[in-house]
Amino acid sequence: MHAEIIAIGSELTTGAKLDTNSQWLSLELAEIGIPVRFHSTVADDHAAMLELFRGAADRSDIVLITGGLGPTLDDLTRQLLADLLGTELVLHEPSLAYIKELFEKRGRYMPERNVIQAKFPEGSEPIENPVGTAPGIWLEYPREGREPSRVAAMPGVPSEMRRMYANQVLPRLPQGDKVIMKARVNCFGIGESAAEEKLGDLTARGREPEVGITVHEATITLRITAHGNSREECQVAIDETKELIRERMEGFVFGEEDEGLEHILMRSLVAQEKTIAVAECGSGGVLARSLSSVNENDLFRGGLVLSESGMASDPLSIPAELIDEHGVISRAAAKFAAEQIRELFHVDYALFVSAFRPLDHDEEGKPIPNAYVAAASDEHTYVQDHVLVGDPQIARSRAAKTIMDLMRRKLL
């Protein structure tokens, strides 16, 4: 069994809009074990659409179509599906009543042109749209000597499409041979090749479940994909693999799925009822942004976002002698800054990330640390030096994650 996905609209073929529906539907179909062989996008053009619809229904057992169901003359999907079946559009009274009601609720009359949205190809079935005026269309396209091809047309608006797919289309689809389920385990503090070594045969090609490694701004994500006869079977296999990953990557795993280090940190702070503040230099506020995004309990009290020259000025009150002796980017300045922020904001914990300079080497050719991070509690201040290279934005994000990870390990 194979599926294919068609997106309709000149706004897609001209490049004015990016089609993300086809990707989303492919992932959904994979979950019920149905492989997708083709995505197609076609302009609002009668001949081109008919050619594509015919070819698709002929070669694929499932055809999912998005777009072209609006009320304007450009919206051809409805008519083309009638042409595909060789029938006419007929009015579906309940759909018309529903669309009229929707307009009335918004305090408007239904324009005459919207009547077309209540018409359906003879022999097809309307699919209700609880959130918009465009109902979907379900039909079975007869194929000689084979099962009919199942065709569903859905609105192009992603939120309407996703809801209609999940509630009304998915239940009508046959189940594929194999179910696919995915899971993610997130790690920090280890390089990609070191992680690969630790994981050993877990990442071998052909292993079941598969384990793939991706890296994004120094966060390593292990992507587990399980194939099985049921969701239950996949879940068991995924749980076993997660267990193995946690054993082999001990200490580096911090979360799952969409969890970042900031979620883990904030969860601990909430449990401990402790507050936090930050200072960061040259970062544009990476730490402040991360912690703000999870600040429902107002435990992140705020921070200083500084440029390098800003760091030497008043808000942090770093003593001039300290800067003269050690410089702004130094272990001593980092320690002072973290402790100072803790007092300035009257918080339990403070984090600091320094700016970083271009890399330099000592006489033996070893790189000299060019950035410092620090974390302060009432008992202890931890400082770490860093050698940051490469893309500045990634280096900054890495520094911010490093100090959040250090706090997770040492202070929470």
Give the end-to-end CA distance of the chain in Å, rounded to a whole number: 51
We find the least distance from the C-beta atom of residue 317 to its own copies, in angstroms, to be 10
Of 39 and 184, nearer to its own copies (C-beta) is 39
Phi–psi pair at 279, nearest 5 degrees: -135, 140
Shortest spacing between CB 40 and its own copies, in angstroms: 5
Strands (E), 33-88: 36-42, 62-66
Q: Closer CB to its own copies, residue 36 or residue 249? A: 36
Least distance CB 298 / its own copies (angstroms): 5
Tell me the three state secondary structure of residue 67.
coil
Place of tokens 């009508």: 172
State which residue, 60 or 219, has the beta carbon closest to its own copies: 60
Q: Taking Cα atoms as reference points, which of 330, 302, 298, 304 lies closest to residue 317?
A: 304
> CB–CB of 305/284 below 8 Å?
yes
Question: Measured between alpha carbons, how far is 371 from 283 in angstroms, rounded to an integer?
Answer: 12
User: Shortest Cβ distance from residue 89 to its own copies (Å)?
Assistant: 25
Please name the helix (run of DSSP H) or strand (run of DSSP E) that holds residue 182, with its range, or none. Answer: strand 179-187
* CB of 119 or CB of 342, closer to its own copies: 342
Q: Residue 304 phi/psi, 5° resolution?
A: -105, 130
How far apart (Å, rounded) are the C-alpha atoms in residues 91 and 73? 17
Using the minimum distance from each CB to its own copies, give the nearer residue, 36 or 63: 36
Q: Which residues bind its own copies (CB under 8 A)?
A: 7, 12-15, 17-20, 22-28, 30, 35-43, 45, 48, 51-52, 55, 59, 277, 283-285, 288-289, 292-293, 295, 298, 300-311, 313-315, 344-346
* Smallest gap from residue 276 Cβ to its own copies (A): 10
CA atoms within 13 A of residue 125's CA, in its CB half-sphere = 12
Our CB check for its own copies shows the closer of 298 and 321 to be: 298
Closest separation between CB of residue 126 and its own copies, Å? 28
